[in-house]
């Protein structure tokens, strides 16, 4: 969902792009959990955008937990190892390594910027390990930016794909009481922020809209976008029955704000929730 849009945006501004993938047509083949990235694919590249990661939105079985962690931790380690095998003059100057708002854990109503410490749940531990592997590239003279991305609204996937069906049937509504905050962001701003950080970023950045909303507010806005009611609540036990422990991602929240991104001068393309949802639902 994100990678194809990033490639299009890079090419649109005149960049030459090399794609690394296990399966994408025309890409350099790379299995990130089994071997270092082929150094020749990175030779002379100015920067790398690293988006690898097993889908978190699934029941966290023992095997799923392993895939979620290894795809991020081991995959990023193998990327940095490939960079280390290049001569200093051939190494990329910048690495933008995707991360997630899950770094902070459940934080209730407090506004959370990049200065806050990490959480201690499963997802927070995964994200800490993920970011630590990316950070090792700084020892190679590479500038590293870490975008901690929120809940992505897009017309072809992301949170919209899971939220839309019940709302279209007229039975959508807030989840688990709806008081938990949702750090949403439109795909246009994920792509925009990734390119911005490729050129300027250093360290961690929350990639979320300027104002997070509660799950109840998000549900009402989606109902407005679809011209459907948003009055049928989904109880927490139903989400837990479907997703098990992963339900914590949905039933708890974090009121993350993009302080560093705003201070760096990034201009949001879709800061308004109603506009972002209209774009996401077409």
Ordered DSSP codes for 115-175: TSPP--SHHHHHHHHHHHHHHGGGGGT-EEEEEEE-EEEETTEHHHHHHHHHHHTT----B
* Lowest mean pLDDT, pick from 74-88, 108-122, 167-181: 167-181
Burial of 59 (0-12, 13-18, 19+ CB in 10 A): exposed
- pLDDT recorded at residue 250: 81
Backbone angles phi, psi at 119, to 5 degrees: -80, -170
- Summarize the confidence of residues 185-213 as an average pLDDT: 97
Give residue 155's pLDDT band: very low, low, confident or very high (50, 70, 90): confident
The pTM (predicted TM-score) of the whole model is 0.92
* Model confidence at 170: pLDDT above 90: no
Asked if 256 and 208 count as a contact pair (C-beta separation under 8 A), the reply is yes
- The more confident residue out of 2 and 281 is 2
Give residue 167's pLDDT band: very low, low, confident or very high (50, 70, 90): low
What gap in Å lies between CA 116 and CA 112, rounded to an integer? 6
- pLDDT recorded at residue 247: 77
Q: Tell me the per-residue pLDDT of 55-69, one tens digit each, with 9 for 90 and over.
A: 888 889 999 999 999
Residues 6+ positions from 103 with CB-CB distance below 8 Å: 118, 119, 124, 127, 128, 131, 148, 204
**First-residue to last-residue Cα distance in the chain:** 16
List own/partner pairs for 238-246 with CB under 8 A and 24 or more apart.
Answer: 239/175, 239/176, 242/59, 243/57, 243/58, 243/59, 243/60, 244/59, 244/60, 245/60, 245/122, 246/56, 246/57, 246/58, 246/59, 246/60
Asked if 172 and 219 count as a contact pair (C-beta separation under 8 A), the reply is yes
* Model confidence at 156: pLDDT above 70: yes
Choose among 166, 151, 275: nearest CA to 229.
166
In words, the CATH class of domain 2-281 is: alpha beta
- pLDDT recorded at residue 22: 87
């Amino acid at each position: 969902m994100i990678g194809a849009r990033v490639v299009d945006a890079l090419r649109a501004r005149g960049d030459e792009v090399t794609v690394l993938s296990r399966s994408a047509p025309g890409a350099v083949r790379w299995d990130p959990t089994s071997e270092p990235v082929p150094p020749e694919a990175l030779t002379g590249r100015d920067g790398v955008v690293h988006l690898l990661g097993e889908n978190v939105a699934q029941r966290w079985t023992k095997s799923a937990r392993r895939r979620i962690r290894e795809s991020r931790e081991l995959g990023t380690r193998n990327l940095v190892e490939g960079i280390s095998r290049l001569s200093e003059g051939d190494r990329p100057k910048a690495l933008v390594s995707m991360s997630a708002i899950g770094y902070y854990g459940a934080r209730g109503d407090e506004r959370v910027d990049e200065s806050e410490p990490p959480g201690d749940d499963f997802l927070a531990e995964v994200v800490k390990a993920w970011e630590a592997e990316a950070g090792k590239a700084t020892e190679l003279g590479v500038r590293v930016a870490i975008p901690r991305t929120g809940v992505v609204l897009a017309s072809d996937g992301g949170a919209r794909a899971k939220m839309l069906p019940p709302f279209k049937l007229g039975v959508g509504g807030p989840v688990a009481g709806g008081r938990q905050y949702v750090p949403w962001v439109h795909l246009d701003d994920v792509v925009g922020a990734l390119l911005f950080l490729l050129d300027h970023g250093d360290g961690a950045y929350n990639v979320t809209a300027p104002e997070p909303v509660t799950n109840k507010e998000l549900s009402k806005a989606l109902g407005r976008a679809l011209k459907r009611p948003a009055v049928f609540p989904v109880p927490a036990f139903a989400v837990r029955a479907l997703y098990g422990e992963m339900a914590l991602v949905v039933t708890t929240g974090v009121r993350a704000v993009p302080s560093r991104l705003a201070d760096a001068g990034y201009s949001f393309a879709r800061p308004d929730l109603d506009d972002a949802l209209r774009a996401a639902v077409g």
